[in-house]
Structure 1
């Protein structure tokens, strides 16, 4: 093979490699989106990141924050057809996609509409349209007839196609911003977070024959050695909102693992801060209990009790 042939082969390989790399956004990319989702049957609002849309629709804003959201493509943060439509696009692109009911909240299942005793429903919720929990299942009341209630246990949006209109605002590269976006996608709460590199002591097992410092005459049975290593840590401030969050309680291990894998960090540290109570009643009580006999004698003196007589009475009773 001549030198020209070798160069041509190398160029062809590079071109083929370039062709194999997909263009645009792909799985694993952190993307900031603004979007509004509506069910197509009645044009009812399902979800939005827009404060303006929320106000127009009269959505209760007390417990919700309406702002662009960070999602990770390929992690199921949006319905698959929406993610598929986003892949390959670029920052600044817009799109619209309709998610069929079967790929959204499922088709409506007639077997999930059941008649139950109205005694299982609180009195103030015995009316059509009320959202109720019966035997651990969530549903809404369709009708109340005598002592019976017909309850639909399907998702409220089952059988509805969902239309998404979205705009790709930017690709998120900052790792701390990625962490906040990922946690928010799981828990929908904002938390204080920061990244630090810590020195941590770690025990490492040295197997037989791997100890380079061991004497040849000594029998190496394996042992543990302590070494100081650096670990990059994501710190999360534990607030009551976090510790009482059901999704966090049930899936914190999985959420932490996602953060470790997606951010390339070593560990997640959930940190709880407890402020001092100052010199309140409990502080005084604990001080009295641990302060020796002086405080007890002073208390007896204030109560006009003779300590020696009290001891004698206790001994007589014993």
Structure 2
């Protein structure tokens, strides 16, 4: 072994001892939360696919949607963005930017001619019988390319199938704050930004007691202990409550937040403000009638309130 080789071997031994190597990964890695700004367009037609830029959204006429255009928080290594873009970001730093071209097969798939079918127009709602309409046929989503007489040509490929996509991105920041991370996950999954905070609670918990070695057949016993749990409190806004993705997948979403943010549990709180005005007056009237035995319709009439109208509104709400 030459002197140079001996020195290299010593360097390797030192690296192993302190847990580092010359090839140790640097920069952003899988599991990191990053705030990403981006605009994606098809290469051939330059059709907008998605953007976080409010100026681009305004130029394209999509800024009237119920969406806030701003950089989005994603987790590297979780498939939240195209793999080719993720590969570019891994190892990069906050402030870096770039452009990645994603081939069709890795974006929205190649266009498959076998997924273009002719079907009876009777299977399509009358309001959707026109070229370009997006339709649901027997559980499949497609768009009408042509419709003549009683027959419609429906393309069940993704509307952007066969299109290469150009993806301009900028790594705006690395997200370290855990509440920001949780908020970013909710925005990514639900496009909703609920108020939330992390608190440490003391919770009573039943824990098993070690059995007596002499009594192997004894029933398991438990005792109550007070333990600390990190809790993510989320305010249940109407936007969150009525979000279909949340309605059907709240358990999976909450578990993912627990795993990625590192809290022990998620508590969704519904806040109901005290009612005033008419309802306050109604409460006073009700208590007065309870004491005096008056008639509810007479009381409503005295208060210039239409009882039939209230009943109709309550029934309508119940039907909804």
Q: Same fold (TM over 0.5)?
A: yes
Match of 2:90 in 1: 87
Any conservation in 2 of the 1:27–1:87 contact (CA below 8 Å)?
Answer: yes
Give 1:134 shift.
2.3
1:231 to partner: Cα distance: 0.7
Mapped contact 2:42–2:166 kept (Cα < 8 A): yes
- The Cα of 1:8 is off from its aligned counterpart by 7.0
Residue 271 of structure 1 corresponds to 269
Give 2:55's match in structure 1, choosing from 52, 58, 75.
52
Q: Distance in 2 between matches of 1:178 and 1:224?
A: 36
Indicate the structure (1 or 2) with the bigger Cα radius of gyration.
1
Deviation at 1:286, TM superposition (A): 6.2
CA shift, 1:147, in A, is: 0.9
User: How far apart, CA to CA, are the structure 1 residues paired with 2:125 and 2:95?
Assistant: 50
Q: Deviations over 1:74-115 (max 9, x none)?
A: 111101111111111111111111111111111112222122
Aligned to 1:247: 245
Aligned to 1:307: none
3-state secondary structure, aligned to 1:141: strand
Question: Does the CA contact (< 8 Å) of 1:207 and 1:221 recur in 2?
Answer: no
Alignment check: 8 A CA contact 1:92 1:168 kept: yes
The one-character-per-residue Cα deviations of 1:139-192 (angstroms, maximum 9, x if unpaired) are 111111111111111111111111101111111111111111111111111111
1:115-154 per-position Cα deviation (integer Å, ceiling 9, x unaligned): 2221222223211111222233221111111111111111
The aligned counterpart of 2:227 is: 229
Matched position secondary structure for 1:17: coil
Deviates more, 1:280-289 or 1:119-128: 280-289
TM-score using structure 1 length: 0.82
- Could you tell me which of 292, 295, 314 is aligned with 1:295? 292
CA distance in 1, matches of 2:118, 2:292: 69
Instruction: Compute the displacement of 1:62 (Å).
Output: 3.4
Structure 2 CA distance for partners of 1:94 and 1:208, relative to 1, 3 Å: same
Question: Which range moved further: 151-160 or 107-116?
Answer: 107-116
Q: Which residue of 2 aligns with 1:134?
A: 137
Gaps of 5+ in 2: 1-6, 300-320
Contact 1:30 1:172 in 2 (8 A): yes
1: CA distance between counterparts of 2:71 and 2:269? 27
Contact 2:54 2:63 in 1 (8 A): no
**Residue 118 (structure 1) aligns with:** 121
Structure 1 unaligned blocks of 5 or more: 211-215, 304-318
The one of 165, 177, 195 aligned to 1:192: 195
TM-score of the superposed pair, with normalisation by structure 2: 0.81
Q: What per-residue deviation string (whole Å, max 9, x for no partner) do you get for residues 249-298 of structure 1? A: 22222211221111111111111112333462864686479x4xx533x4
Query: After TM superposition, where is structure 1 displaced by more than 3 Å over at least 4 residues in a row?
Result: 7-10, 276-279, 281-289
Q: What is the deviation of 1:223? A: 1.1
Check if 1:176 corresponds to 2:173. no
Instruction: Between 108-117 and 266-275, report the one with greater CA deviation.
Output: 108-117
Deviations 1:202-222, CA, capped at 9 Å, x for gaps = 111224228xxxxx89x9543
Answer yes or no: is 1:154 the counterpart of 2:160: no
